[in-house]
Amino acid sequence: MGNSTSRATQWDIMELAFEAEQDPAWWETPLRVEFRNGDTVLDLAGYWDGGKIWTVRFAPTVPGIWRWNARSADAGLNGRRGTIECAPATESDIARNANYRGHIGLSANGRYFQYADGTPFFLLANTVWAVNTARCGLGSNGDGPFHTLLNDCRAKRFTAILMQCMRGFGDTTTEPAGQRNEGGYPFADDDVRKLNPAYFQWLDRRMRAIWDAGMILAVPPTWWGKTGNCFFSHDWAKRISVHLARRCGAYNAIWSVSGEYSGAMRDCGWTKADIDDLGRTVRADNPYGHPLSIHPGGGGQSPPPYAYAGPTPSSLPDGNHASPTHKVQSSRPFHVSGWLDHNWLQTGHAPDRLHNVVGRIGENRALAPTRPVFLSEAFYEGNQGASSYQVRWQAWCAFLEGAAGYGYGAFGLWQFFDPDDPEGETGKNVRAPLRWREAMALEGSGMMRHVRAFFERCEWWRLEPHRNWLTVDGRPNGLPTADDISPPACAAVPEALCVVYVPRGNARTAIELVGLPRQPRQARWYDPRTGDSLAADTPPPDATQWRLPARPTDEDWVLCVERAG
């Protein structure tokens, strides 16, 4: 076989295609390619891409000369080799696309995510589970609804998109074939042995466009079971997961092995051992080391039989105490399973569950070993009348309670609701009061840009929750409850920065900040609706206890107290 030489930029995505002589099943592994650059070695498995074509998708992790060599028992795949000359990403590359900083990983202290170059990654995701469907189409010239959505996400400064690779499985018994995209349905004849490569090639196009837009993927393959739809067995779920891990591995992502795993346990007979086996399987096919977790269901107010039954921390930092109700979370029961390295949360879709944002983040941050916490699903805007105030309350509280990321959602957008879809697929799923364009325009999503703008002006990754630094009307600050979400949130970098989020309902309360270091300071109010800043009264340099000045209005506001100079 002759050698080939190509050129690349560090962290960009390359594809090598090979034609086999034999015709193995799509879930088999007839091809592996070793990529070597000095002491750096990536051994990647190929994935079936239609006919007798097997493809390897590669992202060079370091600059320099990469030499690759294909290995296979199939004579058509074996023995090919080549060289890739990889140039380092430049400052202009990175300014244009943050993905040139490298793949997302975990920080050394286990509290947040960071790029491969060490830059902290602010995880702010928009939820569009149905992004890989025909109604969220790419169009013929980059003019389809998908690009409208992507441009909107960029304008609002989201850094990730929460999506499913295969939409519809497990959500209803009427969709055993999932929902189609431009390439058709994921499997021909509702037969998992008949994977449709065209469907997944259109998924490839979406992943590439998201990468080009500078965002990452936060992605479960699908829901493996829910509401009695058990289309996938555990073994087939493993095969599909491996295929997608190999297909998507070169892209920048954090990965979930399932959506709402409790559905497969409740309705399809899956066990904890089954999910642990799935997690270990995906971890073994994760050569780039993408962060790996699992997306939980929202749970109810009482523990279901498949919820975690082990001990709960009785006391959490800064006065947080564990809720008396166990919820289905990624940390229960997988926190110490070995394959999971960060936790996803779903906190409930009802006004009386907003307080779970604080309680569950606190519970998960208290667990050992330390792992980043991602509030991947909270109360969606527009669901049961959820307002822009409620979604921004969730975002500000999530980050000040120490979450490593927040997933915004809008009812009508997550399913990309389009009642005019000729296949009627959204009619088979959860109908929404708003079409996707109307849901995309809800004002809360636009306010997410102000969350990111505020935190990126400071060393947000160093902030630690300090709710107990506040008193309200002379009493210790409390926790939000199902009936009252007015208690303020506080986080600080001692000696440098203190941030207080004051929710609505505090027009007549006296809030004091205690434990201040003696030093010169400056203070400002930040408007979470507009992103505007206003000067605030500054505490005296020798004050260790200080009453917060009156807010500009009775709305919610953010107070930032910084060391002067």
Q: How distant, in Å, are the alpha carbons of 423, 425, 432, 484 from that of 416?
A: 14, 10, 9, 32
Specify the pTM: 0.94
Q: Which CATH code, of 3.40.1020.10, 2.60.40.10, 3.40.50.300, 2.40.30.20, is assigned to 3-88?
A: 2.60.40.10
Q: Among residues 388, 392, 332, 381, which one has the least CA distance to residue 357?
A: 392
Rounded distance, CA 155 to CA 175, Å? 34
Q: How distant, in Å, are the alpha carbons of 13, 71, 132, 565 from that of 47?
A: 15, 14, 19, 55
- Please check the confidence at residue 307 and state whether its pLDDT lies above 50: no
Q: Residue 184 has what DSSP assignment?
A: B
Amino acid at 535: A
482 neighbors 461 (Cβ within 8 angstroms): no
- Please check the confidence at residue 1 and state whether its pLDDT lies above 60: no
The token duo for 165 is 């690779």
Q: What is the mean pLDDT of residues 315-339?
A: 61
pLDDT in tens, 195-223: 999 999 999 999 999 999 999 999 999 99
Q: By three-state DSSP, how is residue 12 classified?
A: coil
Grade residue 175 by pLDDT with cuts at 50, 70 and 90. low
The token duo for 412 is 């009508």
562 neighbors 492 (Cβ within 8 angstroms): no
Q: Among residues 179, 171, 275, 181, which one has the least CA distance to residue 230?
A: 171
pLDDT of residue 172: 67
Angle between helices 234-248 and 272-284 (to 10 degrees): 30
Q: Residue 88 has what DSSP assignment?
A: P
Angle between helices 443-455 and 388-400 (to 10 degrees): 20
Say if residue 311 is exposed, middle or buried (CB neighbours under 10 Å; 0-12, 13-18, 19+): exposed
The token duo for 60 is 């060079």
The token duo for 504 is 């609505």
Pick the range with the lowest mean pLDDT from 254-263, 402-411, 424-433, 434-443: 424-433
Q: Residue 381 has what DSSP assignment?
A: B
pLDDT of residue 436: 96
The third-level CATH classification (topology) of the domain covering 120-460 is: TIM Barrel (3.20.20)
pLDDT in tens, 447-470: 999 999 999 999 999 999 999 999
Q: What is the mean pLDDT of residues 55-71?
A: 98
54 neighbors 46 (Cβ within 8 angstroms): yes
Rounded distance, CA 244 to CA 239, Å? 9
Domain boundaries, the chain: 3-88, 120-460, 466-563
Radius of gyration (Cα) for the chain, nearest Å?
24
pLDDT of residue 420: 86
By residue count, the chain amounts to 565
